[in-house]
């Protein structure tokens, strides 16, 4: 049975800039592509790529330059020309690693070993959050909507000041969370009365209706329910929506995923996995209680799980998935006809990036296509079991163990090991060179180097060590 198409409400694409921030020219190309695919807006998570000023200057990225003020304004201008609203996402409680990692901010952590969670009791921390919001709003003239994050506030209640606060009768960690969020949203509403405020919902999922009603945030903030799994529990999600609605939160958002949620280190996404997630969200949307207003869906494309984790799939390899997910929402299904539409829109042979073909008839249909293809090509080699477990193959373990390397090894088999390791390394290096060349045309050099260091170097290093040991060993055993 087919679902109805996604109901009225914005289809917003998440642009996660806390890893692999695209060059601004590539962002323009992506906005053009997103517009053709049916996107209504961008949820932009700037993190350290925003040009913070004054006492917040230290928050700017150092691996590459943050975007300039003119670039931030020009991105908005290009988006506006395509009818897209930009919604900045500024974390205000959890996932503040990019702030709290800096030594001058260490004392603002809830607990010393949790880099992500802000101490809700310190006025200085609240002041910094408000300054971040102020600078972001100021650089977005006419801004209507702001996302304040507030997800995954780990270790809340574990700090010394929180323990003192919680010692008073009747106080809970839930109330501690809600009191900080209430302070943030009330400040925003006082400063910018017409601002719509969104927050992630996960910290509120287990709260009772009464707790939410008494929180002071009902009517001021709109929860964004996120679930990125292909087997999303429809009944449970609808029940959660009903709870928020009955607590007075009639305006809600959904958040799905088109990339960046399979595993923390995935290089190439599965389109079908993400389409399945959107099919489940369509079932949720078709089952919402009367009186509940779904304001839109944010299609997340995480570039890191958090500020301190490795890079997830880059945007180019995620575009077929994004196009397929958008068309699934628009048509209410992922039929062969819908797949064909995606294929035509991007000029590809398959909706799965691993099988999309390699024709370059119109590069504007699929910005970053060459990089996507080169990553798929390299990743297929990196995933070869023979290569990844080369150190543990029969010949290396049987005739070139640490014992043999320190004494004497069989020259005939050493030559065989050397030949195979050299072949793999040469092939890897050739493919890495292609990826690097394509990557630096769209991303900073620092991104290309990080991607290679994270995803390629750990595979190449053992091969190189074996070759180095062979060179040493050969000198010693050849007369």
Residues 85, 71: Cα–Cα separation, whole Å: 16
Token duo for residue 27: 């962002």
CB 299 within 8 A of CB 12: yes
Closest of 23, 55, 3 to residue 440, by C-alpha: 23
Residues 92, 216: Cα–Cα separation, whole Å: 17
Rg (CA), the chain: 25
Phi, psi (rounded to 5 degrees) for 147: -105, 125
Report the half-sphere exposure of 117 (CA within 13 A, side-chain side): 22
Residues 176, 198: Cα–Cα separation, whole Å: 19
DSSP per residue, 162-217: HHHHHTSTT--HHHHHHHHHHHHHHHHHHHSTT-EEEEE-GGGTT--HHHHHTTS-
Token duo for residue 461: 């290093």
Residues 6+ apart with CB under 8 A from 355: 349
Token duo for residue 158: 């574990």
Token duo for residue 399: 């005739």
β-partners of residue 350 are none
- Scored b (16 or more CB within 10 A) or e, 104-118 reads ebeebbbbeebbbbb
Residues 278, 395: Cα–Cα separation, whole Å: 47
Q: What are the residue numbers of the active site?
A: 152
Closest of 151, 407, 372 to residue 267, by C-alpha: 372
Closest of 385, 409, 425 to residue 475, by C-alpha: 409
Identify the burial level of 152 via C-beta atoms within 10 angstroms of its C-beta, where 0-12 means exposed, 13-18 middle and 19 or more buried. Answer: middle
CB 473 within 8 A of CB 405: yes
Phi, psi (rounded to 5 degrees) for 92: -125, 5
| Helix, strand or coil, per DSSP, at residue 47 | helix
CB 378 within 8 A of CB 448: no
């Amino acid at each position: 049975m087919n679902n109805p198409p996604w109901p009225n409400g914005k289809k917003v694409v998440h642009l996660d800039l806390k890893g692999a921030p695209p060059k601004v020219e590539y962002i323009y190309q992506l906005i053009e592509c997103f517009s053709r695919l049916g996107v209504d807006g961008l949820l932009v998570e700037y993190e350290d790529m925003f040009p913070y000023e004054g006492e917040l200057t230290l928050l700017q990225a150092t691996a590459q330059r943050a975007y300039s003020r003119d670039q931030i304004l020009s991105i908005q201008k290009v988006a506006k020309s395509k009818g897209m609203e930009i919604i900045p996402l500024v974390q205000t409680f959890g996932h503040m690693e990019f702030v709290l990692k800096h030594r001058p901010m260490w004392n603002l952590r809830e607990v010393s070993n949790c880099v992500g969670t802000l101490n809700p009791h310190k006025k200085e921390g609240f002041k910094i959050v408000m300054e971040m919001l102020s600078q972001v709003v100021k650089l977005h003239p006419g801004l209507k909507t702001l996302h304040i994050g507030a997800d995954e506030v780990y270790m809340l209640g574990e700090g010394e000041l929180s323990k003192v606060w919680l010692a008073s009768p009747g106080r809970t960690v839930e109330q501690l969370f809600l009191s900080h969020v209430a302070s943030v949203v009330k400040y925003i509403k006082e400063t910018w009365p017409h601002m719509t405020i969104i927050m992630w919902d996960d910290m509120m999922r287990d709260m009772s209706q009464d707790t939410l009603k008494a929180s002071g945030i009902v009517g001021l903030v709109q929860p964004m329910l996120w679930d990125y799994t292909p087997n999303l529990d429809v009944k449970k999600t609808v029940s959660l929506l009903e709870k928020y609605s009955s607590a007075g939160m009639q305006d809600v958002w959904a958040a799905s995923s088109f990339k960046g949620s399979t595993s923390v280190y995935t290089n190439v996404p599965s389109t079908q996995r993400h389409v399945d997630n959107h099919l489940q969200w369509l079932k949720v949307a078709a089952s919402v209680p009367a009186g509940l207003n779904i304001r839109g869906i944010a299609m997340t494309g995480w570039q890191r799980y958090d500020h301190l984790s490795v890079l997830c799939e880059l945007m180019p390899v995620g575009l077929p998935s994004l196009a397929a997910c958008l068309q699934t929402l628009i048509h209410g299904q992922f039929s062969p006809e819908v797949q064909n539409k995606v294929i035509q829109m991007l000029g590809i042979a398959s909706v799965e990036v691993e099988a999309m073909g390699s024709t370059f008839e119109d590069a504007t249909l699929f910005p970053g296509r060459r990089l996507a293809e080169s990553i798929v090509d390299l990743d297929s080699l990196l995933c070869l079991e023979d290569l990844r477990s080369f150190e543990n193959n029969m010949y290396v373990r049987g005739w070139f163990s640490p014992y043999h390397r320190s004494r004497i090894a069989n020259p005939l088999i050493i030559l065989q090991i050397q030949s195979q390791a050299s072949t793999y390394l040469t092939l890897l290096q050739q493919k890495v060179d292609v990826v690097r060349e394509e990557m630096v045309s769209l991303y900073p050099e620092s991104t290309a180097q990080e991607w290679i260091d994270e995803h390629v170097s750990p595979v190449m290093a053992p091969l190189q060590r074996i070759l180095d040991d062979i060179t040493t060993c050969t000198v010693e055993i050849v007369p």
